[in-house]
Amino acid sequence: MIAKIRNYIQRAFEDVPKTKKSTELQEELISNLVEKFNDQLRLGKTEEEAYQTVIAGIGDLSELTEGLRERHVLSAITPADRKRSAMLTAIAVGL
């Protein structure tokens, strides 16, 4: 079932750019869900019941993944941005 939890989160993050932040967030989510899954097992639930409870508890991840996609798009530096930055730096140094 732990592999099933990992697969669920990996599918949710499929279209999110593979950045350090998104990878760390994904691993943290998996870790927390596995911990909650084990807690549910200790409470006497079956593996399937524990899995369903854990997955239902995280709710909709689309808002989170959308935010990561937008942040990546917004932070992308284009060649034109680099050229402008270099020119402004050269002017500042010249002054």
User: Mean per-residue pLDDT for 67-90?
Assistant: 64
* pLDDT tier for residue 39 given thresholds of 50, 70 and 90: very high
Q: What is the pLDDT of residue 23?
A: 87
Contacts of 80 (CB under 8 A, 6+ apart): none
Examine the pLDDT at 73 and tell me if it is beyond 50: no
Model confidence, pTM: 0.66
SS3 of residue 18 by DSSP: coil
Report the largest interatomic distance among the alpha carbons of the chain, rounded to a whole angstrom. Answer: 72
